[in-house]
Structure 1
Amino acid sequence: MKTKFILIVFSLVWITLIIRVFILSVESNSYYEKLSHSNTIKMEKISPVRGEITDNKNRPIAINKLGFKIQLKPHLTLKKNEQIFNSELDNLLHLLPNLNRDEIIKTYNKQDSYYNHDFIDIVDFISYNEIMPVYTKLNLRENIKIVSAPKRYYPYGNIAAHTIGYVSRANSKDIKGDNLLKLIGYVGKSGTERYYNTYLQGEAGNKTVKVNANNQVIKQISYEKAKEDRKLVLNIDIKLQKYISSLFEDKAGSVIVMDIEGRILSASSFPEYDLNTFVNGVSHEMWKKLSTSLDKPFTNKITHGLYPPGSTIKTGLGLVYITNEISPYWTVNCTAEMPLGKRVFRCWKKRGHRKTGIKKAIRESCDDYFYKGSLLVGIKKMSEGLKRYGLGKKTGIDLPNEFIGTVPSREWKKKKFNRAWYIGETVNTSIGQGDFLVTPIQMAQFTALMATSKLPTPFIAKKIGDTELEPTIQDVLSEDELKKLPLIQKAMYEVCNHPKGTATKYLNSKIKIAGKTGTAQVVGIMQDIEDRELEHEMEYYTRSHAWFTTYGPYKNPQYVVLALVEHGGHGGTAAGKIVSNIYDKLFEMGYIKQ
């Protein structure tokens, strides 16, 4: 019995050993074969070169400066390798004395670890001219790698800064879930650089190589080229953009030049800033200066600037009025004051406009006409009409994170504040004040509608690769609105050409244009103040914003030109000369055909 038990135990041990040998030699063969393969075959991603951006005349406005980055082998800070590490740094600084030793050490230590077996970036960018004289000497050292690393460069600096946008280091939020960004390290942060980032950055290539035990490449097995150099052509004319920048000088605000089908020829937000300062990361001092400026240079006012539209809205509201409760022949007697409850709503003209119909109300910007008209039409029809005309929603422009603004209504106020609507708010809305907010690009689109009866989607990109973008245009007007729109257009013409037009005396262009001025209050005016303080006498940041939105030529509309001057006071005074000069420049450059 005892012998039998020993034999059974002995047999079980042998069976276990045989099974284990089988697993190790046969079943695990594929696993160890794969492990061996990964130790000798290495897959490398090839970083794509970012595509360049050009203007509509093929002038480069965002390019890649040729350069390189320097990498150092990992694990050289280990005690046994310290001498090698210091020797490599000594040699590097001898050849390139402008490098900072402390910064290199700090950068290297941040990335070095037992788990990292890839070469570490110690210098992100060094120009072609600087590295070429020492390239051969550095490339012979086995612990150093010189890798091609183009750097984004903006030849025109601050011109069209908010429209073009810039590329900067990708942060952890950008990189999360995007393996390509881990490889590239840079991403579009604003403007078209951000909106078209996926297209511009391209797709990584792949390289498979055979390496030895020292991680040295002994053979290339396969190579798949990166999809790169994807070109983006904009509708922007950078020379026109530069000219407009010179006209605006040190003012804050926005200027937009758009053809009537939506192509953006120029779009500016002022103040501008040099895009090149952001490529490698802006200094703390510069960031503080820009971020604390009351003129908000970081805000892309084209799409993110929210302003009361002031009297510019009277063209669209006039169309709503005469296609609803009000006849085109209806008039008011403007005495400069309209009592309503405990308030008095005043017209801007101290003595009033007297007998005023729709055309005169737009031409001379009579507030009283729109006050009284709003009481007949009501906020429901007013807000519905303006939303149909493109306000209170995104225009669809190809820039990131466009704001929608606010067209006030009962429903909007109830949803936002859970409060009742008051009739005084209807009156305020009728002159583009109160809670009414628009962006400059919305007003440019709105003006195109007034000019042509069509609502275009503004777009900056002209060609993506070989594909030319086509305009997107909507029909939003009713038959009655189409029939009565010429009356509004005639009034807009008189704004710029009639002796009593609010813009006439400020214009000197060769092109006959139509438009509407607007003054958007920044601070409220107390009820008991009858003699208003003149704009130029007020503190700068309490002065009204000045709007002037136009189209031309009047008889053959081709372009919309809009100027918003922050704290500029009256639209015609602040922006008339700017707009006149832009139309003359468009004619000189061959854009406007008479």
Structure 2
Amino acid sequence: MRMRIVYAILISVWTILLVRIYYLSIKSNEYYEEIAQNNAIKTELIAPVRGQVFDIKGNPLAVNRLGFSVSLKPHLRKDDKTLKDEIEALASTFTDLNSTKLIKNYLKSDSPYNQEFVEVVEFIDYDAMLPHFAKLSLRPNLLIKPASKRHYPYDYLASHVIGYVGRANQKDIQTDELTKLTNYTGRSGIERFYNSVLQGASGERKTKVTALNQEIEEIYYKGATSQNIKLTLDLELQKFVTEAFGKDAGAVVVMSLKDGAILAAGSFPEYNLNPFVTGISQKEWDEIIKDLDKPFTNKLVNALYPPGSVVKMAMGMAFFNSGKIDPTTKIMCDPYFELGGRKFRNWKNYGYENMTIVEAIKESCDTYFYRGAYKVGIDDISPVLEKFGFGVKSGIDLPNEYIGVVPSKEWKRTKTKEPWYQGDTLNTSIGQGSFLVTPVQVARDTAIFATGLDVTPHFLHSIDENVTKWEVRDILSDKEKANLAYVRKGMYQTANIFGGTGFRALSSANIRLGAKTGTAQVVGISQTDKNRINENDMKYYERSHAWITTYGPVEEPAFVVTAMVEHGGHGGSAAGPIVAKIYNKLIELGYIDKKYLKKK
């Protein structure tokens, strides 16, 4: 019995030993072989070259300049003389490089655990490097690699639309790891809105290396990819719009009624995009920020203005939808409407005349809208204003679009904790008080009146030749569609009949237009002032903003052109001539058929 126990123990021990030997020699070999293989194979991610941006005719708006980056071999801090020699070789070859700064950058990025070359010069232009490439490539401590740098060929042109790229920070990297490879990300405009498209996807390269990280062979390669985009902008028209606007501050939108494509748009003044790619100085930044005309603000979507009288078309539709006023109802137009001891003035000293919506729009009679709004009430007005594009996002493909403010009882109660007054309703009726909009919202609103259809304002035409389809929506009831005719008649008379507020300003347009002018007060007028002070006698930054929004040709509406000149005074006289020039340019470029030309 004892021998059996001894034999059993011996057999068990030998079995355990054999199993262990099998595991160490066979099974573990697979595990350690995998580790060894991973240690011998180096995986390198390849940064994509950012996609380029073109206008509708293929002209480049944002491109990549070709050049080279320069890196130094790691661990040169141990050999101070070699490090200084390599840095001096670079600084003496490219005189704009600062050797002290290069050494500082190297020491900051080098690490005892790092086996990769350390980048010290991010970008040297292709033409600058080419004469020295062969000589520098012979230096074993230097690594010269192809690189690219974002470039905007037209500097200031359409700067708020195109936007710019900037260096990626830690927050960017946490949000999108690809920026760790590219080092850059879209900061504003189209560059930011379509960043994921333009940025692309990384590639991958696998190589066999020795224990000293020396490459033996390439075993796998997948190239990085990116996509180009084409915008609806027309470069020639964009240049013309910029020149026509001149040195004033404000905004312009030129939009197709077919689907909301924007052919030209400007927020003025503009700024040079290129310095932002690598970073600007604190002095340059302070100059931009302190400029009272706010060149860094995208006024198309990121600035809010009282709309003034350009809201009167939507206001008229709110009157009609209420059932309390119809398009043929005549309302008194006189010098002022008195409420609670306060006189709500007309924009000019009228006589006493009963008007329908047609005449009220043509002559922009404020007291017509005061009386109409007083009768209808804000509860029936605010929802219609939102339906026509105010107080909601337009959906434009620019980042951080503001929604503006459509005043209402609920909004005021939430915002100010104060009750709603009838005076608030009257101010809202002429686009003043708390009413705030963006120029793009006004353009979208005008498009609805021009065609009866709602479009999404946009800049994207296609991604790598794949054309994007944009929805056109039928949002109006049959009653609203029938009432459009009266509003359009008023807009027609505004631009084409003597006495219309846009008649003189738009007379140089070679086609007939539908229009509405607007003068939005920046400062209030005291009740003790019997007459409104002349805009030209006011300090510049106290003058009213000048609006004009139009569509044309009236026979077959194809385009909306909306312009707003900050502190321009009266809408028609300040913004009208700019708009007339733009329509004439659209005709010249073939966007509008010459069969619609006015007969002389």
TM-score, length basis structure 1: 0.94
Aligned to 2:141: 143
The 1:188–1:509 alpha-carbon spacing in structure 2 relative to 1, beyond 3 Å, is same
Q: Distance in 2 between matches of 1:97 and 1:289?
A: 29
Aligned to 1:536: 536
Query: After alignment, is 533-542 or 111-120 more displaced?
Result: 111-120
Code of the residue aligned with 2:216 in structure 1: it is I
Q: Distance in 2 between matches of 1:252 and 1:18?
A: 88
Aligned to 1:5: none
Deviation at 1:258, TM superposition (A): 0.1
CA contact (8 A) 1:456 1:473 kept: yes
- Match for residue 235 of structure 2 among 238, 241, 259: 238
Q: Distance in 1 between matches of 2:302 and 2:480?
A: 30
CA contact (8 A) 2:115 2:213 kept: no
Code of the residue aligned with 1:258 in structure 2: it is M
Aligned to 2:72: 72
Aligned to 1:350: 349
Deviation at 1:531, TM superposition (A): 1.7
1:527-584 deviations in whole A, cap 9, x for unaligned?
A: 2222221111111111110000000001110000010000001111111110010000
Code of the residue aligned with 2:326 in structure 1: it is S
The equivalences for 1:526-565 within 5 A come to 526-565=526-565
Aligned to 1:473: 472
Q: Distance in 1 between matches of 2:142 and 2:569?
A: 62
Establish whether residue 420 from structure 1 lines up as the match of residue 416 from structure 2. no
2:76 aligned counterpart, secondary structure = coil
CA contact (8 A) 2:549 2:560 kept: yes
Aligned to 2:95: 97
Establish whether residue 258 from structure 1 lines up as the match of residue 258 from structure 2. no
Aligned to 1:404: 403
The 1:20–1:283 alpha-carbon spacing in structure 2 relative to 1, beyond 3 Å, is farther
Deviation at 1:38, TM superposition (A): 3.2
Q: Distance in 2 between matches of 1:43 and 1:441?
A: 48
Q: Distance in 1 between matches of 2:104 and 2:240?
A: 45
Deviation at 1:283, TM superposition (A): 1.7
The 1:32–1:95 alpha-carbon spacing in structure 2 relative to 1, beyond 3 Å, is farther
- Match for residue 318 of structure 2 among 312, 317, 320: 320
The equivalences for 1:425-464 within 5 A come to 425-464=424-463
Q: Distance in 1 between matches of 2:403 and 2:520?
A: 18
Aligned to 1:8: none
Q: Distance in 2 between matches of 1:502 and 1:312?
A: 12
Deviation at 1:192, TM superposition (A): 0.7
Deviation at 1:101, TM superposition (A): 0.3
2:431 aligned counterpart, secondary structure = coil
Code of the residue aligned with 1:565 in structure 2: it is V
Deviation at 1:25, TM superposition (A): 6.6
Q: Distance in 1 between matches of 2:340 and 2:156?
A: 51
Query: After alignment, is 82-91 or 236-245 more displaced?
Result: 82-91
Query: After alignment, is 363-372 or 213-222 more displaced?
Result: 213-222
The equivalences for 1:230-379 within 5 A come to 230-260=227-257, 261-324=259-322, 325-352=324-351, 354-379=353-378
CA contact (8 A) 1:389 1:476 kept: no
- Match for residue 83 of structure 2 among 79, 82, 85: 85
Deviation at 1:227, TM superposition (A): 1.2
Query: After alignment, is 479-488 or 318-327 more displaced?
Result: 318-327
1:18-77 deviations in whole A, cap 9, x for unaligned?
A: 999998777764554344323321000111111111101111111111111111122211
Q: Distance in 2 between matches of 1:376 and 1:544?
A: 28
Q: Distance in 1 between matches of 2:51 and 2:66?
A: 13
Q: Distance in 2 between matches of 1:582 and 1:132?
A: 45
| Percentage identity across paired residues of the two chains | 48
Q: Distance in 2 between matches of 1:64 and 1:550?
A: 38
Code of the residue aligned with 1:126 in structure 2: it is I
Q: Distance in 2 between matches of 1:462 and 1:295?
A: 31
1:376-413 deviations in whole A, cap 9, x for unaligned?
A: 11101111111111111111111111111111111211
Aligned to 1:393: 392
The 1:353–1:468 alpha-carbon spacing in structure 2 relative to 1, beyond 3 Å, is farther
Code of the residue aligned with 1:590 in structure 2: it is G
Code of the residue aligned with 1:250 in structure 2: it is K
The 1:413–1:169 alpha-carbon spacing in structure 2 relative to 1, beyond 3 Å, is same
1:278-319 deviations in whole A, cap 9, x for unaligned?
A: 111112111110111111111111111111110000011112
1:334-367 deviations in whole A, cap 9, x for unaligned?
A: 3312111132111111244522221111100100
Q: Distance in 1 between matches of 2:184 and 2:278?
A: 9
Question: Structure 2: 5+ residue runs without aligned partners?
Answer: 1-13
CA contact (8 A) 1:270 1:297 kept: yes
Q: Distance in 2 between matches of 1:512 and 1:505?
A: 13
Deviation at 1:96, TM superposition (A): 2.9
2:274 aligned counterpart, secondary structure = helix
CA contact (8 A) 1:535 1:569 kept: yes
CA contact (8 A) 1:70 1:122 kept: yes
1:275 aligned counterpart, secondary structure = coil
Q: Distance in 1 between matches of 2:571 and 2:352?
A: 19
1:236-276 deviations in whole A, cap 9, x for unaligned?
A: 00111111111111110000000112010011100001111
Q: Distance in 1 between matches of 2:119 and 2:534?
A: 60
Deviation at 1:461, TM superposition (A): 0.7
The 1:538–1:28 alpha-carbon spacing in structure 2 relative to 1, beyond 3 Å, is farther
Query: After alignment, is 343-352 or 382-391 more displaced?
Result: 343-352
1:176 aligned counterpart, secondary structure = helix
Aligned to 1:158: 156
Q: Distance in 1 between matches of 2:409 and 2:504?
A: 40
Establish whether residue 489 from structure 1 lines up as the match of residue 491 from structure 2. no
Establish whether residue 63 from structure 1 lines up as the match of residue 63 from structure 2. yes
The 1:592–1:333 alpha-carbon spacing in structure 2 relative to 1, beyond 3 Å, is same
CA contact (8 A) 1:395 1:441 kept: yes
Q: Distance in 2 between matches of 1:304 and 1:361?
A: 31
Code of the residue aligned with 1:61 in structure 2: it is L
1:77 aligned counterpart, secondary structure = helix
Query: After alignment, is 90-99 or 433-442 more displaced?
Result: 90-99
Code of the residue aligned with 1:420 in structure 2: it is P
Q: Distance in 2 between matches of 1:521 and 1:559?
A: 28
Code of the residue aligned with 1:122 in structure 2: it is V
Q: Distance in 2 between matches of 1:290 and 1:231?
A: 30
Code of the residue aligned with 2:562 in structure 1: it is L
Q: Distance in 2 between matches of 1:540 and 1:22?
A: 91
Q: Distance in 1 between matches of 2:291 and 2:501?
A: 32
1:338 aligned counterpart, secondary structure = strand
TM-score, length basis structure 2: 0.93
1:412 aligned counterpart, secondary structure = helix
1:200 aligned counterpart, secondary structure = helix
1:385 aligned counterpart, secondary structure = helix
Query: After alignment, is 584-593 or 128-137 more displaced?
Result: 128-137
CA contact (8 A) 1:52 1:200 kept: yes
CA contact (8 A) 1:455 1:476 kept: yes
The 1:287–1:16 alpha-carbon spacing in structure 2 relative to 1, beyond 3 Å, is farther
1:456-480 deviations in whole A, cap 9, x for unaligned?
A: 1111011112321223111221111
CA contact (8 A) 2:52 2:62 kept: yes
Aligned to 1:514: 514
Deviation at 1:418, TM superposition (A): 2.7
Q: Distance in 1 between matches of 2:170 and 2:45?
A: 20
